[in-house]
C-alpha cells in the first residue's frame, strides 16, 4: 500500500527575494563544476549551498560542507529567507518546456511518501545506484534533517482522477512561478484543502510507484530511517524520518520526455582499435560514416538520426573512437548472444535493453571493463565526441533513449537497469519546496486529535 501525506513545506520568502530564479538550482547530480561556481555567484541564498556546498582543504568532522549546509538552512529559516507553511499541504508542480520543436507540459504533485523497503512493497526502483553519491546524500540528510530536492516518481492515472483533481487548482495563480536557465517554466501551487488532500491520499493507496529519478536520494532516506529506527525502541512507522519528499507524475502524461545518457570510456590498457572493431563484427553489423572537418556535424546528425530510426525495431549504437575520422553505426546481429552471457533468471525484457546490451556485451564481454571508474556519462552527444577528440576518453557510445514502458516493465519485475539508463527531461528544479524532518513529530493523515500538524 502506498501512503502519501501532506507536509508543512518550506519555500523561499518572496517578500525578501524578488527574483527567485537566482536562488533555484538543478539537482545536485547534474551540476558541473562551472555551473557550481556560477550558482554561488548568483545569490548568497542559492540553494546550491545546501545541496552541494563547497569543500575546503581544512574540512574536518566538525566543519565540512554538510555542517555548513545545516548552518545555512537554520540561519535562513531564522532570518525569514525561508518560510515554513503553517498547515500541511500537497503541492501541485507543473513544468512547461520545449524539447526539439515541440512544447510539452508535465504536471504532478509533491507530497511525502512513507518509505518502503525495496522489494517489499509498492515502490519500485529501476536503476542500480553507486555507493559514493549514496553516502553523500545520507550525510546531508543526517546533518541537515531535511529533504531539499524531490525523488521523481511515476504512477498510473489511467482513470485520470488525479489529473482532474490537480487541474481544478491549476486554474489559480501559482504560489511560485520561476523560469530556469533552460527557459523551463516551473509553477507550484500550494493546496491545504482537506477534501483535496483526502482524495489524493485515498487515490494513491492502491497505486504502484516507480522511481524515475532520484534513486540515490531514496536509498539514502532508507539508510537514514534505518539508523534512526535502530536508536528508537518505540518505533511506530509514523516518525517524520520514515518519509521522503517525492514528486508524483502520471505515466500517461504527454510531457514525460526521456533523453539517452551516453557512455564515455577510458583506462583501457593496451587498447587496439582495429582488434576491437573486429571483435565487434562478431556480433554487430558495422557501418562506417567517414567525415571531414567540414562535414563532421552533418555526418554525426545523419548517423544519430539513422540510429534513432533503426532503434525502433533494432538494438544499435553510434561509436566514435579517439584519433579517427569516422562514426560507426553498430546494429546487433547476434540477438541470441545475451541469453548466453546473462544468467537464466534475468527476464527477457532486461536482456533486450540497449543499456544492458552495451554494458554486458560490449563493455564487459568484449572490452573486459569491470570498474565504475572506466565509464563516465553525459546526455550531450557533442560533449561526448569532444571529450574523445581531445584525448580525455578513448571512445564514446551514443545511445537511443530508454522507453517509458521499458522502465515500468523492468521495475515491476524487480529488476534494475544499469546506472544512468534514463535522463528524464527536464530535471525538477531544486528550491521550489523543501521538507524539514522534525524529530519527535508524527506524520499521519488525517491528523490524530493530539497532533497539531
82-126 pLDDT, tens digit per residue, is: 999 999 999 999 999 999 889 999 999 999 999 999 878 899 998
Task: Classify 420 in phi/psi space as left (phi over 0), alpha (psi -120 to 50) or beta.
Answer: left
> Is it the case that residue 450 has pLDDT exceeding 70?
no
What average pLDDT does the chain have? 94
Among candidate residues 45, 112, 95, 37, the one with its CA nearest the CA of residue 73: 45
Sheet holding 395-398, edge to edge: 284-290, 326-332, 316-321, 395-398, 262-265, 375-378
Among candidate residues 183, 202, 46, 184, the one with its CA nearest the CA of residue 107: 184
Which pLDDT score is estimated for 347?
Answer: 86
Rounded CA-CA distance 114/411 in Å is 19
Which pLDDT score is estimated for 453?
Answer: 47
Domain map of the chain by residue range?
Answer: 4-257+426-436, 261-400
- Phi and psi, residue 359, nearest 5°: -70, -45
pTM of the model: 0.90
Which pLDDT score is estimated for 118?
Answer: 84
Across residues 70-81, what is the average pLDDT?
Answer: 98
Half-sphere exposure of 435 (CA within 13 A, CB side): 29
The pLDDT tens digits for 289-308 are 999 999 999 999 999 999 99
Please tell me whether residue 243 adopts helix, strand or coil conformation: strand
Which pLDDT score is estimated for 418?
Answer: 86
Half-sphere exposure of 169 (CA within 13 A, CB side): 25
- From the CB of residue 373, how many other CB atoms can be counted at a distance below 10 Å? 8
Place of cell 547530480: 29
- Phi and psi, residue 198, nearest 5°: -60, -45
The pLDDT tens digits for 207-242 are 999 999 999 999 999 999 999 999 988 999 999 999
Q: pLDDT tier at 447 (50, 70, 90 boundaries)?
A: low
DSSP letter for each residue of 76-95: HHHTTSEEE-SS-BEEEEEE
Where does 261-400 sit in CATH, by number? 3.30.1760
Amino acid at each position: 500500500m502506498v501512503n502519501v501525506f501532506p507536509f508543512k513545506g518550506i519555500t523561499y520568502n518572496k517578500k525578501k527575494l524578488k527574483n527567485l530564479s537566482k536562488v533555484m538550482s538543478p539537482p545536485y547530480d547534474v551540476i558541473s563544476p562551472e555551473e557550481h561556481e556560477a550558482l554561488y555567484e548568483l545569490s548568497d541564498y542559492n540553494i546550491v549551498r545546501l545541496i552541494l556546498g563547497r569543500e575546503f582543504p581544512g574540512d574536518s568532522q566538525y566543519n565540512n560542507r554538510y555542517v555548513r549546509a545545516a548552518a545555512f538552512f537554520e540561519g535562513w529559516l531564522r532570518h525569514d529567507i525561508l518560510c515554513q507553511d503553517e498547515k500541511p499541504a500537497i503541492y501541485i508542480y507543473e513544468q512547461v518546456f520545449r524539447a526539439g520543436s515541440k512544447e510539452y507540459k508535465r504536471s504532478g504533485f509533491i507530497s511525502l511518501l512513507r518509505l518502503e523497503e525495496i522489494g517489499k512493497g509498492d515502490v519500485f526502483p529501476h536503476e542500480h545506484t553507486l555507493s559514493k553519491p549514496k553516502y553523500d546524500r545520507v550525510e546531508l540528510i543526517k546533518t541537515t534533517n531535511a529533504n531539499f530536492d524531490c525523488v521523481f516518481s511515476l504512477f498510473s492515472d489511467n482513470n485520470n482522477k488525479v489529473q482532474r483533481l490537480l487541474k481544478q487548482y491549476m486554474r489559480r495563480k501559482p504560489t511560485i512561478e520561476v523560469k530556469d536557465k533552460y527557459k523551463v517554466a516551473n509553477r507550484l501551487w500550494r493546496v491545504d484543502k482537506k477534501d483535496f488532500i483526502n482524495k489524493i491520499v485515498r487515490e494513491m493507496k492502491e497505486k504502484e510507484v516507480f522511481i524515475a529519478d532520484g534513486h540515490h536520494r531514496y536509498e539514502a532516506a532508507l539508510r537514514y530511517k534505518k539508523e534512526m529506527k535502530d536508536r528508537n525502541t518505540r518505533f511506530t512507522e509514523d516518525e517524520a524520518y520514515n518519509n521522503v519528499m517525492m514528486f508524483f507524475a502520471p505515466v500517461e502524461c504527454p510531457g514525460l520526455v526521456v533523453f539517452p545518457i551516453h557512455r564515455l570510456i577510458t583506462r583501457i590498457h593496451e587498447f587496439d582499435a582495429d582488434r576491437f572493431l573486429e571483435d565487434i563484427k562478431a556480433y554487430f553489423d558495422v557501418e562506417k560514416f567517414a567525415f571531414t572537418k567540414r562535414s563532421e556535424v552533418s555526418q554525426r546528425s545523419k548517423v544519430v538520426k539513422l540510429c534513432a530510426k533503426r532503434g525502433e525495431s533494432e538494438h544499435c549504437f553510434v561509436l566514435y573512437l579517439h584519433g579517427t575520422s569516422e562514426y560507426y553505426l553498430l546494429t546487433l546481429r547476434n540477438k541470441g548472444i545475451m541469453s548466453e552471457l546473462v544468467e537464466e533468471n534475468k527476464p527477457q525484457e532486461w536482456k533486450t535493453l540497449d543499456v544492458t546490451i552495451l554494458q554486458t556485451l560490449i563493455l564487459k564481454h568484449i572490452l573486459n571493463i569491470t570498474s565504475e571508474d572506466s565509464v563516465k556519462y553525459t546526455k550531450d552527444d557533442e560533449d561526448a565526441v569532444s571529450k574523445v577528440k581531445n584525448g580525455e576518453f578513448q571512445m564514446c557510445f551514443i545511445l537511443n533513449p530508454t522507453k517509458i514502458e521499458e522502465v515500468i516493465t523492468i521495475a515491476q519485475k524487480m529488476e534494475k537497469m544499469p546506472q544512468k539508463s534514463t535522463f528524464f527531461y527536464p530535471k525538477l528544479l531544486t528550491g521550489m519546496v523543501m521538507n524539514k524532518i522534525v524529530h519527535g513529530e508524527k506524520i499521519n493523515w488525517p491528523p490524530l486529535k493530539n497532533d497539531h500538524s
